[in-house]
Structure 1
């Protein structure tokens, strides 16, 4: 049986089979519902159900609590419809989405940017255009059918000529894919990717000042957004807060500082939580999302783009709402590990 799903306030509609999740149906039909992990672990796809009946599959309580579900909130990534449904998702504003493609890519270069961060550059096919928005991600298609998602760390205009992508990959010891990246992967290897995915990209129709919040390799899509802003001449007041445990976790600190002359509207605030005496760190310390609140206790007039570890993203979502940030002005991409996903399925 097929049901109709209406998304307000945009009025967009799509159909969903009773056996597919609302998010899968939306992606299939080019409707830009927000999402992150697609596995019920991060909460990025959470939205309000105005009417209709859905059933949730396995998910983590931190992504959707029983109280939130009772209040009418759902996770579209693991909810299936049992009737026509009306959702409230202010992020859905576009008439269409960029085409999702499966492509072969060749490893051009591997650069160790930090002890546990590899910058991977991939050559795209010259015969087929690959379009995406700064902030979106691709998924590697592994031989056993599993997937691994990574954000583009370069703006679309920089990926076009020559056709290539930059990704920032953090090593997760024991991880099937990242062990390969940091061990056996070499230049000229051929991989397969699919994308673009994700609703994490700059809303250019807004005039609100911007806060970019990144933890670890959550800087990757933020870098793409910064490059896009430079390219488009977007000069809205912008603050970038980038957090890591040690200074070396801010692995492209020099790159950010080099942008200062061309981006006078950008304020950069690096934050380190666990610096050692040998690091000689003289900058801000503590949790990066709290540094934002120290500088901006009233967030009612801002837009926030948060990317990185789920605990950082969800802490920011909660605490920034208490500081006056409207829910529709918070955009997020939580970097959910396979361990997180396994927990959500338990």
Structure 2
């Protein structure tokens, strides 16, 4: 059923197989109610564009606000699937959903942040380091994201590229302060990224809210890892790799990082240095549109297909995929349908731009 926002309620939502339940207030989406009460459901964009929050409805009625068909199509909706980020209960609900652990639901905080440093790593990638208030340190999992709250209320989401243990940083002998690292790709004409690349200055103040997202390493498994990134989808993967190194997690892991041209792999030197320190980590860079002057001699083609070439059987793996929605969704479909990957072992964060959110 698709209609306007349901106004009745509040309603109870029970999540199986965990049995956890929470209430959803009138005019509130299922996901918003879960986040507000610290119940960890999988999600990504929160805007009906990526499909990460899709789950099965076992009982009850919902109405959906507008969402993209690639996130959930009409056949899936008719079969009883729900996008929790876009669904409003019309009754008490029972959902079936893979859940994150209770301790993962760190408090979401809204805070001022100060631009500490700008580092342009390629023609369209800026590494921005944001200093957080020293007295209100944010707790988060490696792989989660924050949202900038712009002056007009619009929001822009970016993954934190540094693991939590690196949060406190010192500059020039000064006392350490909490700093998060963000990798921002320029979207020409984009209200926020045009500002980042043309006008943003050190010490500028912006408002942040977070942490958000259910993308982080599941440490209760010893399965080998495929880490799949396209473009700045490398940011949360970088945080995960830092976390693995810090915690001494030695599960075999292979990073496949794709770009159009070699310069798109803007921290290639960083990941090669980590491979020297982490013998269980492999790195496979993949370029799709190299030019003759690039002198590229490595792997070519689409990055998600390189994984299939090397791993035709993924039934014993976990996959963590980040980047352009087309890459993430192609990987999800191909790995589960063709390589035997369990859908429960595919974790994703699709980087949906404002243009993506309005495209169907």
Q: Give the Cα separation in 2 of the matches to 1:223 and 1:343.
A: 29
TM-aligned CA deviation for residue 17 of structure 1: 2.2
Return the alpha-carbon distance in structure 1 between the equivalents of residues 324 and 245 of structure 2.
26
Using the size of structure 1 for normalisation, the TM-score is 0.97
Instruction: Give 1:185 deviation, angstroms.
Output: 0.2
- Provide the rounded CA distance (Å) in 2 between the counterparts of 1:343 and 1:109: 33
Match of 1:242 among 237, 257, 271: 257
**1:224 is the counterpart of 2:239:** yes
Q: Secondary structure at the match of 2:102?
A: coil
**Alignment pair present for 1:208 and 2:216:** no
2:320 corresponds to which residue?
305
1:124 Cα offset (Å)? 1.2
Aligned to 1:61: 69
In the alignment, the residues of structure 2 paired with residue 197 and residue 304 of structure 1 have an alpha-carbon distance, to the nearest angstrom, of 20
1:110 aligned onto 2:118: yes
1:49 and 2:57 are equivalent in the alignment: yes
- Residue number in structure 1 paired with 2:138: 130
Supply the distance in 1 between the matched residues of 2:101 and 2:149 (Cα, whole angstroms): 30
Q: 1:26 and 1:249, CA in 2 relative to 1: closer, same or farther beyond 3 A?
A: same
- Aligned-residue CA RMSD in angstroms? 1.1
Structure 2: any 5+ residue segments left out of the alignment? 1-8, 170-175
TM-score by length of 2: 0.94
Aligned residue in 1 for 2:344: 328
For 1:343, what is the secondary structure of its paired residue? coil
Are 1:176 and 2:191 matched, yes or no? yes
| Alpha-carbon separation, structure 1, partners of 2:32 and 2:127 | 30
Deviates more, 1:93-102 or 1:240-249: 93-102
The answer for the alignment partner of 1:101 in structure 2 is: 109
**Aligned counterpart in structure 1 of residue 43 of structure 2, from 23, 32, 35:** 35
Distance in 2 (CA, whole Å) between partners of 1:227 and 1:96 is 18
CA distance in 2, matches of 1:50, 1:241: 37
2:203 matched to which residue of 1? 188
CA contact 1:10–1:92 (8 Å) conserved in 2: no
2:274 corresponds to which residue?
A: 259
Q: Distance in 2 between matches of 1:49 and 1:229?
A: 35
Task: Give the Å deviation of 1:261.
Answer: 2.3
Question: Distance between the aligned counterparts of 1:275 and 1:316, measured in 2?
Answer: 22
Tell me if structure 2 keeps the 8 A contact 1:303–1:330.
Answer: yes
> Paired residue for 2:80, among 60, 69, 72?
72
